[in-house]
Amino acid sequence: MSIDNHAGEGSLLTVTLSEPKVLEVAGVSCDELCCDPISLPRIGLTQPDAEYIQIIIDVFNTLASNDLFHNKASLDNFVKMLTFGGVQDHFVQEAQGVPFINDWRETLRRWVIGAPEDEGLTNYLAALDRSHIASMAVGSTSTGCSKPTQGSFIRVPNESRKGDIVAVILGSSNPMILRPQERPGYYSVVGPCYHPDFAHREALLGNDFHGWIWRCDRTKPFTAFSKEGEPLRRTDPRLDNVPLDFIEGLVEQLITEDEIP
């Protein structure tokens, strides 16, 4: 459902039909919605950009405030929520014409706070707005925007509501929105979501990358990590001290920038 969603990817999926219409799965409860979602669907085919930008501004003003522009990490999470993780800051190879998070920070500030009118920049800014809106065009059924108790910003199904929990299910790339039932330990499934704080298996492996920086690679179906003075690596640094002898043929792959096609 999103470009950047690897919440439980690579872990072993375990599903048991414990009773009729009830599946038992292994997972981790990560967060909880503290408000009902605000709908933000894809822009309509004939919808003016200015009208859609106003909807984005309304979402911002409902979930956040101008103070967010002074908190880089939270602002980045808001951008990732808008784009389903399709806009990142660290690329192995730069994608021509694709806005980066820094571009989004400046554009979002201009949309929300406003900027002095400059007729000479009208066409340029209109094209810039169009490219940013296009970077949000990711197909998904989770078109709601919400805020969980841990303070991030997430994409959820519109049917979600305050009190629903975010859970990472082993073997699933997408976290799930679950609704607690009266029977303890039982949940109904609302649908998949995108949570930027758990997009890279943080629920299972933690968020200590030991100085390595996760990098987005559009050229290969693998994640990449960089660190100053070290060659680019394709294995997760959080697994460095985890015994993996039971996996035959596991080889750590180190490559240099020059080896990237």
pLDDT in tens, 170-224: 877 788 999 999 988 899 999 999 998 888 777 777 777 788 887 766 666 567 8
Mean pLDDT of 100-117: 86
Q: When comparing pLDDT for 146 and 256, which is higher?
A: 146
Q: Kindly state the percentage of the chain with pLDDT values over 70.
A: 75
In order of 34, 75, 196, 213, the CA distances from 110 in angstroms are: 28, 14, 23, 29
Residue 245 has pLDDT above 60, yes or no: no
Q: Are 205 and 166 in contact (CB under 8 A)?
A: no
Q: When comparing pLDDT for 173 and 69, which is higher?
A: 69
Residue 99 has pLDDT above 90, yes or no: no
The model's pTM: 0.79
Query: Residue 229: what pLDDT?
Result: 87
Mean pLDDT of the chain: 80
Predicted confidence band at 135 (pLDDT cuts at 50, 70, 90)? confident
Rounded Cα distance, 109 and 202, in Å: 29
Mean pLDDT of 96-121: 78
Q: What confidence tens digit (pLDDT) does each residue in 8-37 have?
A: 555 566 667 778 888 787 778 889 999 999
Query: Residue 90: what pLDDT?
Result: 60
Query: Residue 119: what pLDDT?
Result: 62
Predicted confidence band at 95 (pLDDT cuts at 50, 70, 90)? low
Residue 261 has pLDDT above 50, yes or no: no
Query: Residue 91: what pLDDT?
Result: 59
Query: Residue 212: what pLDDT?
Result: 86
Q: What angle do CA 5, 99, 233 make, to 5 degrees?
A: 50
Mean pLDDT of 86-112: 75
Rounded Cα distance, 41 and 47, in Å: 12
Instruction: Point out the least confidently predicted range of 71-80, 195-204, 224-233, 252-261.
Output: 252-261
Q: Which of 64, 84, 78, 67 is nearest to 1 (CA)?
A: 84
Buried/exposed code over 88-122 (b: 16+ C-beta within 10 A; e: otherwise): bbeebeeeeeebbbebbbebbeebbeeeeeeeeee
Q: When comparing pLDDT for 139 and 101, which is higher?
A: 101
Instruction: Point out the least confidently predicted range of 94-98, 165-169, 190-194.
Output: 94-98
Query: Residue 7: what pLDDT?
Result: 56
Residue 74 has pLDDT above 90, yes or no: yes
